[in-house]
Structure 1
Amino acid sequence: MSENFAAFLYLVSGVLFILALRGLSHPTTSRQGNLYGMVGMGIAILTTLLLAGPSFGGLVLIVLGIAIGGGVGAVTAKRIAMTAMPQLVAAFHSLVGMAAVMVAAAALYAPEAIGIGTVGDIHAQALVEMSIGVAIGAVTFTGSVIAFLKLDGRMSGKPIMLPQRHLINIALGVALIALVVAFAITQSHVLFWLIVIVALVLGVLLIVPIGGADMPVVVSMLNSYSGWAAAGIGFTLQNLALIITGALVGSSGAILSYIMCKGMNRSFISVILGGFGGESGPAGADDLGDRTVKQGSAEDAAYLMKNAGRVIIVPGYGMAVAQAQHALREMVDKLKDEGVEVKYAIHPVAGRMPGHMNVLLAEANVPYDDVFELEDINSEFAQTDVAFVIGANDVTNPSARDDKASPIYGMPILNVDQAKTCLFIKRSLASGYAGIDNTLFYKDNTMMLFSDAKKMVEDIVKALAD
């Protein structure tokens, strides 16, 4: 295959990747977007194989690797629960980062294979590209591993604050830059692996201080890192498809991180430099002081919603954990049969990653026209009879709007407390992922429904049928 034709095919795959991103921007076109992405990746892989022209033995190894990786990916996609999707994404980001490290190492030890020079005499430009790609890849790997452990509950979501952590990070950053410069001059293999080690440590130290409330931003940020790592290695390999793909992922991840930070009223720098909140113990019934909680039953909730004119449902991570979306859809269908107007309100950072709630509702075949973002529906709560909150804690906390001393003050929330009645399904009065007590629980118009989300919704469905 000629290089010109290969460049054309890479351009075609790049266009398909752009169309994939565009398709993924809306639920109705997301399937088509995924298809574009798969076709584009298929073209890129086949083009690379035909251009490289590997030997029969090499081709067998490549096909075997694709089969093993594809098989693992297919089985994982088949078995993974939607509640575990955020940590799966973080895990995949770590693989992209490690792949960048391994490819850079291969280029260092066999530069003749990709035409960037010989061992000990690699082109200066390639050395810079290689070192930047491997540094970003290593940071992405360990940072994503820590994010996975936090999201999967294998590590505490509480921020781990090391003494003088900012100075340590600055020192490591300066050391990383110095090592990159020294490596570009000397081409020392020892310096290459020192870059890897320093970047791996920096990836851990950047993520461990970040608390659970900021984890959605971390996921999108690591997505951006993985893209830039791929782009850096793409320049080293002189692979146009990898450069285009990496740049698309890196830029889109950065834009998404900005949008997420805006949705949380947080600056991107403040998230990177330390996070906020942490875990706190649950507030039990004997630990309320002079505050009181109004507790209700499934029958109470069914009666209130059945006689309401308008109900707005606010899903959160509690719904995801309980897998209550299908029961929720059944409940909404019954309410609509009674003539009740029902809408869904989605906060930009509900769940553990962007779009988490939208995907869960789509899984239950909730009509897209019934689902509204915060800025489109927030003004309607004041004219709503019942706000039905199912496991969405931090994004409904009035402290973010009313308490200047609160760590989450200024974060946009769904104004569920402005509805005539707020029904809140939760297992206990424990704080949310941000580790901050929710003052909504103690308001006069709030009725707490203490139960597993799925069981409570199923009981409400039964009560509506009576």
Structure 2
Amino acid sequence: YGILLTLRIGGADMPVVISLFNALTGIAVALDGFVLVNGELGDAGYAMVVAGILVGAAGSLLTIKMARAMNRSIGGVLFGGFGAKEEVGGAIEGSLKPIDPDDAASLMAYANQVIIAPGYGMAVAQAQRKVKELADSLEAKGVSVRFAIHPVAGRMPGHMNVLLAEAGVSYDKLYDLDEVNGQFATTDVVLVIGANDVVNPAARRQGSPLFGMPILDVDKAKNVFVIKRGQGRGFAGVENDLFYKDNCRMLYGDASAVVGSLITALEHS
């Protein structure tokens, strides 16, 4: 049943579906516990009921929060066919343009304001402490540094907030989507670290699987540097228009290693 339910759902909506399945798992465990309560394993049954209720409740709240953050309804995700197909159209104009870490660091060192937009790639590389070190290095040079946090960046709401707090980033430097989107147009450099779908301008284009999902408007900044392992697509399987824009440059490699290279370059700039 789970396979049949998800076959028609596109990748853009999968985070909501996965969270929903997590909630359903908790409900299933609780129901199994009710059965065991009346049998020989009564104590185990009570434990399963309690655990199942907790998991089901937490999963349900997470599902609702993720759906709202992505501007979806749960019914629309399951039965509306969101994210089914990309619109028909030509290939994206432009090309991917790599940049050397030394050149990127030089531009950042002479910027007035830098906004860092972290994503799942930062979590995978466990680069949050390196990112904090990079922010400190920039601030030591008089650069204003802020962090743009998308509500569903990573694999759950608040994922980036937790990682950055763990690294010691001050909470007053974290800006949510509504607070930061108006600042990108006057920002000298945006550094995207391992984020993809949440910064994809295709979300503004009707017919895209991402259409309607709120995004960080990083493409409006003067310069955008994207740290990315390779040229693959994001979780939704949609080509990212941002990467082909004239103001965007790519920094390929593991997020921790690339950020480390930027820190080293800043020390010598």
TM-score normalised according to structure 1 size: 0.50
Q: Is the 8 A contact 2:12 2:210 kept in 1?
A: no
Q: Is the 8 A contact 2:118 2:160 kept in 1?
A: yes
CA distance in 1, matches of 2:84, 2:252: 24
Indicate the structure with greater strand content. 2
One-letter code of the match for 1:447? R
| 2:19 equivalent to 1:220 | yes
Radius of gyration: which is bigger? 1
Matches within 5 A, 1:154-303: 202-233=1-32, 235-236=34-35, 237=37, 246-273=52-79, 276=83, 290-303=93-106
Give how far 1:443 is off.
1.6
The range that moved more, 270-279 or 437-446, is 270-279
CA distance in 1, matches of 2:68, 2:92: 35
| 2:120 equivalent to 1:314 | no
> Paired residue for 1:375, among 178, 199, 203?
178
Partner of 1:333: 136
CA distance in 2, matches of 1:255, 1:424: 32
Give how far 1:380 is off.
2.0
Q: Is the 8 A contact 1:278 1:433 kept in 2?
A: no
**Runs of 5+ unmatched residues, structure 1:** 1-201, 280-287
CA distance in 2, matches of 1:207, 1:292: 34
CA distance in 1, matches of 2:57, 2:13: 20
Give how far 1:302 is off.
0.9
SS at match of 2:179: helix
Give how far 1:244 is off.
6.0
Give how far 1:388 is off.
0.7
Measured on the aligned residues, the alpha-carbon RMSD in Å equals: 2.7
Give how far 1:313 is off.
0.7
> Paired residue for 2:230, among 418, 424, 428?
428
Q: Is the 8 A contact 1:343 1:372 kept in 2?
A: yes
Q: 1:246 to 1:428 in 2, by over 3 A?
A: closer
SS at match of 1:256: helix
Give how far 1:448 is off.
1.9
> Paired residue for 2:209, among 404, 407, 421?
407
One-letter code of the match for 1:425? I
CA distance in 1, matches of 2:11, 2:162: 21
Give how far 1:329 is off.
1.6
Q: Is the 8 A contact 1:212 1:278 kept in 2?
A: no
Identity %: 52
**Runs of 5+ unmatched residues, structure 2:** 39-44
Give how far 1:433 is off.
1.6
SS at match of 1:404: coil
CA shift digits 1:267-316 (9 cap, x unpaired): 2123234663699xxxxxxxx77523433211121112111222111111
Indicate the structure with greater helix content. 1
Give how far 1:241 is off.
7.4
CA distance in 1, matches of 2:232, 2:221: 23
| 2:258 equivalent to 1:459 | no
Q: Is the 8 A contact 2:192 2:227 kept in 1?
A: yes
CA distance in 1, matches of 2:48, 2:77: 29
Give how far 1:260 is off.
1.0
Partner of 1:154: none
Partner of 1:359: 162
Q: Is the 8 A contact 1:231 1:243 kept in 2?
A: yes
Q: How many corresponding residue pairs?
A: 256
